[in-house]
Structure 1
Amino acid sequence: MVEVVAFPTVTPLGHSTPTQSCEWLRHFAAASLYLAVPLNWVLCSYKAAVSIDTYVICSTPRTGSTLLCELLTSTGIAGTPHSYFRSQDIDRRAAEWGLSLGWRFTSYSEAVRRFTSSANGVVGLRVMWGTLDEIFNELRPLHGNIDDLALLEAEFGDVRYIYLRREDLIGQAISLFKAEKSNYWHSTQPGVPSREVRYNYEEIEKRVASLKNDDAAWVEWFRSVGIEPFSVTYEDLELNPIDATTNVLRYLDLEYSGEFFAPNEKLADEKTEDWRERYLRRANAT
């Protein structure tokens, strides 16, 4: 767990001295990790001058994206990044935000900006590879046959991209297999894993291949649209989550000198290492 000691002041862009006017907002940001209350319901007299509208964390499962999202949220200046366009969750979120039946994608997208931005207007999105085409399929009828980056900018304004990956692909695949089979994804999830998960080489190998393909797809998409995303790894977050998050904020031109908070803890255990050895023995033997 990354704990908050205090919430010092923020020095906004374009200012030489910190401001106290949003001091309480950072306390609220940490609390909002547990409460279904959007940050921008809280009116703040200060609005920082920022140069971006939206950032996208481009990732695959089990890369530490939840930890990174929690750390960014805790600053109070980087929105509340989450997988808002994950198809399985959209209807639930739309209902929570009070959208009427038969809502259109534009209404949902506006709700994301309205209910998840921080007081400075910044919105954070987490997008797994499989979700990207779903977003484009919704945006093209609205904005015409324009290129991918233009589509995203037409809907979300000035967008920056963060590529979060995991160098340890086998560990990532083991983690994904265990999470999918136990339905236990994060340490903050109430209760215990719903069932014991048994080692299965074929299932892990299938996820190794899938994750490898998704990472390759992200790299190819970045190349095809001509952008160089800011790169962060799971290993960066594991080694020093504060430094990794601070570097992301600098890339976003969001200056922050306060503390960070995230309740999430690593789920890997001795079983993970045992499974890795078993997997490698068989993989190397074939």
Structure 2
Amino acid sequence: MVPIMDTRPRAYLVCASQRSGSTLLVESLRATGVAGEPAEFFQYLPTTSLAPQPREWFADLDDPSVHELLAPLVVGDPDSETADDWRVRVVASGRTPNGVWGGKLMWNQVPLLVGRAVALSDRTGTDLRSAVADLLGEEPLYVKVNRDEVVSQAVSFWRALQTQVWRGATPPELDANAVYHAGAIAYLVSLLRAQDAGWRAWFTESGVVPLEIDYRDLAADSAEQTGRVLAALGLDPELAPPPALERQANARSREWAERYRHDAETEGYPL
């Protein structure tokens, strides 16, 4: 009898927008010890070698009252790594000893990934799908994390941009310095909606059918949703751990979300 080959992917890419719950998912997968070392490998700007800084998120918003609430820009160094060396590093950094690779990609990072892959020595195309396949040497499992409640997502994003605490509980002294700003939240609502629309259009146009995970389901039972990814990779879903992170949302988050919804009704901000 000819053995049946397991054709399931040995790599996965979590596709999301900021503050969608994707960090909880990838940290839960990391905690298994067998599902790669997923990270945001593609967030770094070539001009600075840094992830986008708080003020850079609002570069197109001409509102000094927003910028003054955010940390000053830090000067970085231009990226000098060759594309092939970048590939070697990213693949090695995201892989566990069993050969499974994991990573995370936000829609705003797509141009950075595609632009980086252009110079690979064996590039096969110019689009995102070929860039990912050329990077990893295979077509990964695409996992899409969805968060329908965009106002709460934008509030979470705005708080994190001010405190620069991206996971776990925010220290009270930092959280106390965060300031509500309807204009900033409105800008982020529009940005996050555009990111989600970008992902949905790309999946449709590319013919990729992702494994979809809803934020509410992930928040309610992260082990179950993590197990779905593990199963799709041919790994034991029972390896999914208890929640790997403490939720950042608190009464202040809910208060800001309700305040923004009221402001949106009276001032015409997007919901």
Short-chain TM bin: 0.7 to 0.9
1:248 maps onto 2:232 in alignment: no
Between 1:236-245 and 1:153-162, the stretch displaced more is 153-162
Structure 1 residue runs of 5 or longer lacking an equivalent are 1-13, 15-48, 94-100
Hey, which bits of structure 1, 4+ residues long, moved more than 4 A?
A: 88-93, 188-192
Q: CA deviation at 1:247?
A: 1.1
- How do 1:1-286 and structure 2 match up within 5 A? 51-88=8-45, 91=49, 102-142=80-120, 143-156=123-136, 157-187=138-168, 193=174, 196-258=177-239, 260-285=241-266, 286=268
**1:26-58 C-alpha deviation (Å, 9 max, x unpaired):** xxxxxxxxxxxxxxxxxxxxxxx7732321100
Is the alpha carbon distance of 1:141 and 1:104 closer, same or farther for their aligned partners in structure 2, counting shifts above 3 Å?
closer
Q: What CA distance in whole angstroms lies between the structure 2 residues aligned with 1:190 and 1:269?
A: 12
Q: 1: CA distance between counterparts of 2:230 and 2:218?
A: 14
How far did residue 252 of structure 1 move?
A: 2.4
* DSSP-derived class of the 1:87 partner: coil
- Which secondary structure state, in structure 2, belongs to the residue aligned with residue 162 of structure 1? strand
Give how far 1:195 is off.
Answer: 5.8
Q: Are the counterparts in 1 of residues 223 and 243 from structure 2 also a CA contact under 8 Å?
A: no
Taking only the aligned residue pairs, the percentage that are identical comes to 25
1:169-199 deviation digits (Å, cap 9, x = unpaired) = 0000000001101212222678952761121
Please say if residues 44 and 50 of structure 2, whose CA atoms lie closer than 8 Å, have aligned partners that are also in contact: no
- Cα distance, 1:110–1:273 mapped onto 2, change above 3 Å: same
Q: What is the count of residue pairs matched by the alignment?
A: 232
Give the secondary-structure state (helix, strand or coil) at the position aligned to 1:141. coil
Query: Residues 256 and 216 from structure 1, CA distance in 2 versus in 1: closer, same or farther, beyond 3 angstroms?
Result: same
* Distance in 1 separating the partners of 2:91 and 2:265: 48
In the superposition, relative to structure 1, how do residues 247 and 144 fare at CA in structure 2: closer, same or farther (>3 Å)?
closer
RMSD: 2.6
1:58–1:127: 8 Å Cα contact kept in structure 2?
Answer: yes
2: CA distance, partners of 1:85 / 1:205: 26
Offset of residue 202 of structure 1: 1.0
Deviation (angstroms), 1:124:
0.5
Paired letter, 2:41: Y
